[in-house]
Amino acid sequence: MGHAAVGQVKDSLIWITLLVELGVAAAVSASLARSNTFKDLLLMPRRSWRQTLSLVAMICIPLTLGVWIRVRVPNFLAADLSYEATVLMGLLLGPAAAMVGGAALALPAVWHGEHWTLAVNLAVAAIFGAFGHFTEREEVWSFSPMIDLSLYRWVTRNLRKPRFDRQIMLLGLIATMQFATSMLSRVYPSRFFELHSPNWWVELAICACAPVVVGIPLKIWNAVRTERKLEVQSRLLMEARLDALQRQINPHFLFNTLNSITSLVRSKPELAREMIVKLANILRALLKDREAFVPFSEELAFTDDYLDIEVVRFGEKLQVVKEIAEETLDVLVPSMMLQPLIENSIKHGLEPRIGGGTVTLRSRMLTDGRLMIEVEDDGIGMDMEREAGVGSRGSGIGMRNVRERMDVMYGPAAEVEMVSRPGRGTKVTLVLPVLQPGEAPWGPLGEALHERWVDVSRAMTRG
């Protein structure tokens, strides 16, 4: 076979190798991105040395195996991505960590007799580590493997307002260093390995492929980074909603209770004094570190003080009936959940009725394992068609907050239903999933939001 034919076969192998390299880079990057440990380490704003070394190990172990495969298996050159991996570690982890990773990637090649690999990897780690150190982190993450688009953006930006573009500099630096290592491999093939070709268009393709191989992991991991940011923003939004809802509930309850006490100060001062003591008990409970979720028995005890206040106020006109299943007492429920419903029953259902009435509180476990709680009154009821109207009971602060809290805290796993008939009364039914201690219902963001909810609740009660 002539030299031209041999060169053509070699160039064909290089073209195939470049295509396979893109696939290998994408496969390894996507596999790492599926690991929660890798994502946590990669996206940490600050890492200890142990964490940094763990991250370097996760990147280098599969790629070091690739270098060993390239050394041992003929014509399987695409498995060796040591240059691109060292560049990537330098940009993301800094020069020191990249040097450790580059040295690890060089071990199989050095063992094979390619002694210059270690020195080249260390030099690449130092250069790109320094580049990453002096470059804004966002510019590194936004580096695009689409070379033509990068050049197009660079040209259009500089036509409007000339400026120094670090992304184009990074693109050129990666390609230039790739060309330098290719020439070194061409001159000393037994001391150092890198793809190279005597044909300038093939060599150009080799140099152009390197930024793409570096850019693929950056794009994949940046997508993970963006997703994590969106999760954080969603969590902060949910925290803000929970904070606003909790702030609405406590002042609303306090305002109505003080109104009840005011109505008795002159006519029945001893009863007013007793109600103030009850209110003090309630406020003392609120000033404690209340968790986001409490046992149902604790929630019942909290509402007893409120009911005692209202019973003192209404006298025999107000009757309270409890039908509580024993097995429901230890189930975790959202704190401050029952009081707004009971308050609604008394204020909107029974208070306008001359003869008063009865508030019935029920709980039982359903066959599907969920908890059902009912708050029912035999008051004046309401027209359900007007529920969405302004000032209606269904859209009042208490009921609206309960609906929103259930939606925020449980999503579709919980049900809130209100049935009312004019002149016959109103029944509110809550169906909640059963949570075990330490369990949160929100899915991937649940644990973090659960902890934050506790912090928010404590801060609010202290304030």
In this structure, the strands spanning 425-432 and 371-377 are antiparallel
Give which of 248, 241, 238, 363 is closest to 297, Cα–Cα.
363
| 428-457 average pLDDT score | 58
pLDDT digits over 378-417, tens only? 888 876 655 544 344 444 566 777 887 787 777 788 899 9
Q: State the pLDDT at residue 456.
A: 43
**The pLDDT value given to residue 446:** 47
Of 275 and 442, the structure prediction assigns the larger pLDDT to 275
Percent share of the chain, pLDDT over 70:
77
What does the pLDDT read at residue 34? 92
pLDDT for 347 equals 80
pLDDT of residue 50: 93
The DSSP-derived string for 207-274 is HHHHHHHHHHHHHHHHHHHHHHHHHHHHHHHHHHHHHHHHHHHHHHHHHHHHHHHHTTTTT-HHHHHH
Q: What domains sit in the chain, N to C, each tagged with a CATH number?
A: 3-231 (no CATH), 263-462 (3.30.565.10)
Q: Given phi > 0 = left and psi -120 to 50 = alpha, else beta, which region is 391?
A: left
Within 10 angstroms of residue 331's Cβ, the number of other Cβ atoms is: 22
Instruction: Find out whether 307 and 279 touch, Cβ atoms under 8 Å.
Output: no
d(CA 290, CA 214): 50
CA 419/CA 99 separation, integer angstroms: 69
pLDDT in tens, 293-325: 788 998 898 888 888 877 876 777 888 999 999
> Per DSSP, what are the bridge partners of residue 334?
293
Q: Residue 439 corresponds to which tokens in the numbers above?
A: 């369990």
Between CA 19 and CA 21 the distance in angstroms is: 5
- Tell me the two tokens of residue 227: 């997703």
pLDDT of residue 81: 92
As a whole number of angstroms, the distance between CA 228 and CA 225 comes to: 5
- The pLDDT mean for the chain works out to 80
Least confident of 20-29, 54-63, 230-239: 230-239
